[in-house]
């Protein structure tokens, strides 16, 4: 019973083991199938990669399987061990040759700077091989440079780009016996690298010799032609010179005859003059005796008069010097007070010290910016000798306008502030204008007599008088300097009656007093008349502003014309001599003040709803401001009697008026304000 119980158990175990082995066998069979499939795929990929690598090697000249029926190119090298190591098969059809590149598709790929991207094409049609070079690709066959299709034969030497040497092999020609092989010994010798190189050098040498011979013959022909032409020109010049010399000799003979006749006439004239000179000498002696007697009488009279006048003059000089002494004493006390105040302020606050190096660099930078912007302005350092200048120890910056021939002085703080504006202007992002940086109406400009470009004619009597006025001379010393000799009886009476008499400089002349009330009367009449006419025709802000600007420019024209017509001998400025100039000055000042008020009122009523409206408003404000600055420039030029400033102010005022009227008209159009165009140009430029 135990044996029967054991047997089924063993049978069951055996069956389980058999089923397990069957499962393992099936799994191993599946793994074998998968392994065989993977090996077949890897083998196929390896075959594909092998074929691709074989093609790439064939392009580089490495061939594993040689077809003896196809023509080929074998390399030649100066090292015999490297010769015939690369073999390029020429297939049926077209074989392209070019530079080796990653994406190149040429059949034969070569390296080198002389190899073109598409160098040549080798055609194999019916066992006839021909090579076709591309443009600008050097290709040599048997040492000769080819430019068109050339048929290759067995044993020909092919050189591509001058660096790659090949020998062409054509098995079909060798078998047919059409061309003797280079290796049979029946040719001209072995066609190796040295043979191909010498063949190329010989061909190039022959070509170069032919070109040299041709150039030599051409130069010889040109030289012979030049010699012949020079010979003809020389013969023509010689014949012309001969005729010229003959004419010159005849003219000299005529001149010699005329000179002889003139000498005879001069000798006769000299004899006649000698007799007249003797007579004149006798008359001269008699006149000299009479003049000497008159001089003695006149000298006695003048000495008597001079002694009297010298006594009077000395008394006046002593009186004037005493007054000048008192004046200088007062000024000295004021200077001392200012100096003490400056020292006190310096001790309280530490102001930045200006060293010479920093100032020199800033002046050099300012001059470069002026030259770049073409402003005709020159900056230089100036150490003031006057004691009243208390800023920065007497150091200033001199500003010279070389175009107008004028100059002024800036303090160091003002120069530093303007330098920042100049740098912004140079960079192109400045909101200020050119004239605001390089010309300030508040500056005191004066004639720059040190300018090398100033002509001597511009330094007239009027200019010399204005320079004399700017000196520190009081009225009494000025009168004594102009009239050092003047009698007591007629000094006060004749000075007021004589035309062109010199008067001491003063701030108010006799012509100003009766003119000012009349001018004020005219201005009041104009204002009242405008108030009466406002009910008939309503005058807008634009009309009023345009009228005021025209009045300012009319005053500029009138004052500049009066200045040009002023006599050089006049001792007073145009405003002191001319009532018309005073009238226009006051009218223009009033008109400018009204124009500023009208502009502010107009712009205050306009809301800048867009960038265009804001730009036009800013432009109008800038032009009105410039108009006032140029009028200040005109006043200073007339007062200082600087003609260049007067002309420049008139020219810039004309341009500023055009720009202001244009901005005014644009603003009137944008804001919808009525504008009477009848005023434009009626009194100004007419543009």
**387-445: per-residue pLDDT in tens?**
444 444 568 888 888 887 788 888 888 888 888 888 888 887 554 455 567 777 667 77
Q: What is the pLDDT of residue 38?
A: 76
Average pLDDT across the chain, whole number:
76
Give the sheet arrangement for strand 93-99, strand by strand: 108-110, 93-99, 118-125, 128-133, 150-152
- pLDDT band of residue 374 (cuts 50, 70, 90) is confident
Contact 146, 133 (CB under 8 A): yes
Reported pTM: 0.41
231 φψ region: left (φ > 0), alpha (ψ -120 to 50), beta (else):
alpha
pLDDT average, residue stretch 5-20: 81
Beta pairing, strands 118-125 & 93-99? antiparallel
HEC assignment per residue over 239-285: HHHHHHHHHHHHHHHHHHHHHHHHHHHHHHHHHHHHHHHHHHHHHHH
CA dihedral 310, 312, 317, 320 (to 10 degrees): -170
Q: Residue 676 above 80 pLDDT? A: no
Query: Mean pLDDT over residues 99-128, rounded?
Result: 87
Asked if 59 and 106 touch (Cβ cutoff 8 Å), the reply is: yes
pLDDT band at 464 (very low <50, low <70, confident <90, very high): very low
**Per residue in 236-256, pLDDT tens?**
888 888 889 989 999 999 999
Q: Give me the pLDDT at residue 87, please.
A: 85
From start to end of 361-498, where are the E strands? 377-383, 395-401, 406-410, 446-447
Burial of 460 per CB tally in 10 Å (0-12, 13-18, 19+): middle
Q: Which whole number is the average pLDDT over 598-607?
A: 85
Predicted pLDDT at 674 = 83
Beta bridge partners of 686: none
pLDDT in tens, 282-308: 988 888 888 888 888 888 888 888 888
- Select from 646, 650, 649 the least CA-distant residue to 574: 646
Which carries the bigger pLDDT value, residue 449 or residue 491?
Answer: 449
Of residues 117 and 310, which shows the higher confidence score? 117
Q: What mean pLDDT do residues 675-680 have?
A: 57
């Amino acid at each position: 019973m135990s044996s029967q119980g054991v047997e089924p158990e063993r049978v069951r175990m055996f069956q389980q083991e058999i089923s397990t082995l069957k499962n393992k066998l099936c799994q191993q069979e599946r793994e074998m199938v998968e392994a065989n499939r993977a090996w077949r795929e890897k083998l196929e990929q390896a075959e594909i990669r092998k074929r691709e690598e074989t093609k790439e090697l064939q392009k580089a000249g490495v061939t594993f399987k040689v077809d003896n029926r196809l023509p080929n190119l074998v390399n030649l090298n100066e090292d015999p061990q490297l010769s015939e190591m690369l073999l390029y098969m020429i297939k049926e059809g077209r074989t392209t040759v070019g530079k080796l590149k990653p994406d190149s598709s040429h059949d034969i790929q070569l390296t080198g700077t002389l190899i073109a991207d598409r160098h040549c094409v080798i055609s194999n049609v019916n066992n006839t091989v021909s090579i076709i070079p591309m443009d600008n690709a050097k290709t040599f066959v048997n040492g000769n440079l080819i430019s068109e299709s050339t048929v290759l034969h067995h044993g020909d030497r092919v050189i591509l780009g001058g660096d790659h040497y090949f020998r062409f092999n054509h098995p079909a020609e060798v078998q047919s016996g059409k061309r003797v092989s280079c290796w049979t010994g029946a040719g001209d010798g072995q066609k190796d690298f040295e043979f191909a190189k010498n063949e190329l050098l010989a061909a190039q040498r022959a070509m170069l010799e032919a070109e040299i011979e041709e150039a030599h013959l051409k130069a010889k022909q040109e030289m012979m032609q030049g010699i012949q032409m020079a010979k003809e020109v020389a013969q023509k010049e010689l014949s012309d010179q001969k005729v010229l010399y003959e004419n010159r000799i005849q003219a000299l003979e005529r001149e010699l005859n005329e000179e002889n006749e003139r000498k005879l006439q001069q000798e006769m004239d000299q004899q006649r003059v000698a007799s007249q000179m003797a007579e004149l000498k006798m008359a001269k002696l008699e006149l000299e005796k009479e003049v000497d007697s008159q001089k003695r009488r006149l000298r006695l009279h003048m000495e008597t008069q001079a002694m009297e006048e010298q006594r009077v003059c000395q008394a006046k000089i002593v009186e004037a010097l005493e007054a000048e002494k008192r004046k200088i004493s007062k000024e000295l006390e004021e200077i001392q007070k200012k100096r003490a105040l400056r020292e006190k302020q310096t001790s309280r606050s530490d102001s930045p010290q200006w060293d010479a190096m920093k100032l020199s660099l800033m002046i050099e930078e300012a001059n470069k910016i002026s030259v770049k912007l073409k402003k005709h302005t020159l900056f230089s350092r100036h150490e003031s000798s006057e004691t009243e200048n208390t800023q920065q120890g007497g150091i200033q910056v001199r500003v010279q306008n070389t175009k107008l021939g004028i100059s002024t002085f800036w303090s160091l703080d003002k120069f530093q502030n303007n330098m920042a504006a100049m740098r912004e202007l140079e960079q192109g992002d400045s909101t200020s204008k050119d004239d605001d940086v390089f010309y300030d109406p508040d500056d005191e400009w004066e004639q720059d007599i040190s300018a090398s470009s100033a002509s001597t004619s511009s330094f007239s009597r009027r200019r010399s008088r204005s320079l004399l006025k700017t000196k520190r001379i009081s009225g009494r010393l000025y009168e004594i300097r102009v009239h050092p000799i003047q009698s007591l009886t007629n000094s006060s009476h004749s000075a007021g009656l004589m035309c062109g008499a010199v008067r001491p400089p003063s701030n108010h002349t006799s012509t100003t007093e009766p003119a000012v009330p009349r001018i004020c009367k005219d201005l009041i009449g104009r204002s009242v008349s405008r108030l009466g006419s406002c009910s008939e025709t309503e005058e807008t802000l634009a009309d009023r502003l345009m009228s005021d600007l025209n009045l300012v420019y009319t005053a500029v024209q009138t004052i500049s014309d009066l200045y040009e017509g002023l006599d050089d001998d006049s001792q007073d400025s145009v405003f002191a001599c001319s009532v018309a100039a005073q009238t226009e000055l006051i009218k223009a000042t009033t008109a400018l003040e009204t124009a500023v008020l009208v502009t502010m009122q107009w712009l205050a009523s306009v809301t800048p709803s867009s960038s265009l409206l804001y730009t036009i408003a800013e432009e109008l404000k800038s032009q009105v401001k410039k108009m006032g600055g140029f009028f200040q420039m005109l006043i200073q030029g007339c007062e200082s009697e600087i003609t260049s400033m007067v002309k420049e102010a008139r020219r810039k005022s004309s341009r500023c008026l055009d720009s202001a009227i244009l901005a005014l008209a644009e603003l009137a159009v944008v804001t919808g304000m009525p504008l009477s165009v009848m005023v434009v140009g009626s009194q100004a430029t007419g543009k």
